[in-house]
A = this chain, B = another copy of it.
Amino acid sequence: TAAVEEILQEAPGALRGKRVVVTAGPTREPLDPVRYLTNRSSGKMGYALAEAAVRAGAETVLVSGPVGLTVPAGVRRVDVTTAEEMFEAVMKELPSSDIVIKAAAVADYTPMQKANRKIKKSGDQMALELKKTRDIAEEVGKRKDGQFLVGFAAETDHVSDHAIDKLHRKRMDLVVANDVSQAGAGFDGETNIVTVYDDQGEVLRLPQMSKTEVARRLMGLIGERVR
């Protein structure tokens, strides 16, 4: 019945005694003291997940990139700016955690060099040299010792293929895929449209709903899997 479904989905107390680490928001990769490379992540999905984790009874740490959101009640927030800082913060929390949910949109590339002074405009063209950042999900996948790893895949094309590939490469237990080119999904706004996969294939497909509701449903699913 609907009432039972509601209870299962919201799973109150389903994560009691568990320690959850959620990452959220974008990272900023500085070129100089003023300029940086970033992305459109608002952090809303991650913050909603942290709130849902607390509601489900978990001790919750939110490793957050720079966003203008208020930390949900009961959540401990660790503020970071760059991909490197987020990497370090997650690795520090990992050994004592049971569940890691990587909802942040971490920069894949960062400037090779950060200028100490503001770069002055000169030529008509310039090449900005970038290097790959350390992959947090991949490293968590390697180091994990019983932790349940949930990743996100924000894609604009071949969404399920890219997501499932990511799950395998990074040893995730679940991957939450969304097509950020779709209206009502992803970075902007208050709603999301997600499909969740495990290594056997699709496990949950949600229509457009608020990020708060998506977070509760995901936390319900995670609660079932870690029991």
Residues of A whose CB lies within 8 Å of any CB of B are 31-40, 68, 105, 107-109, 112, 116-118, 120-121, 123-132, 154-157, 162, 180-181, 187
Q: A34-B39, A124-B132 are in contact. List 14 more A-B contacts (CB 8 A).
A: A34-B154, A35-B37, A35-B39, A36-B38, A112-B125, A117-B157, A118-B155, A118-B156, A118-B180, A121-B132, A123-B132, A125-B130, A127-B127, A127-B129
Measured between alpha carbons, how far is A187 from B33 in the docked complex, in Å?
A: 10
**7 pairs from A and B in contact (CB 8 Å cutoff):** A35-B37, A109-B126, A117-B156, A125-B131, A127-B128, A127-B129, A128-B128
Measured between alpha carbons, how far is A105 from B181 in the docked complex, in Å?
A: 28
Measured between alpha carbons, how far is A197 from B34 in the docked complex, in Å?
A: 23
User: Residue on B with the closest CB to A121?
Assistant: B108
- Across the interface, which residues of B come within 8 angstroms of A154, CB to CB? 34, 118
- Across the interface, which residues of B come within 8 angstroms of A68, CB to CB? 68
- Answer whether A156 and B112 are a contact pair too, CB < 8 Å, given A68-B68, A126-B130: no
Which of B33, B40, B123, B130 is within 8 Å of A36, CB to CB?
Answer: B40
Expressed in whole angstroms, the minimum distance between the Cβ of A186 and any Cβ of chain B is: 9
- Across the interface, which residues of B come within 8 angstroms of A123, CB to CB? 132
Measured between alpha carbons, how far is A13 from B111 in the docked complex, in Å?
A: 48
- Answer whether A34 and B126 are a contact pair too, CB < 8 Å, given A68-B68, A118-B155, A121-B132: no
User: Residue on B with the closest CB to A119?
Assistant: B108
B125 touches A129 (CB 8 A): yes
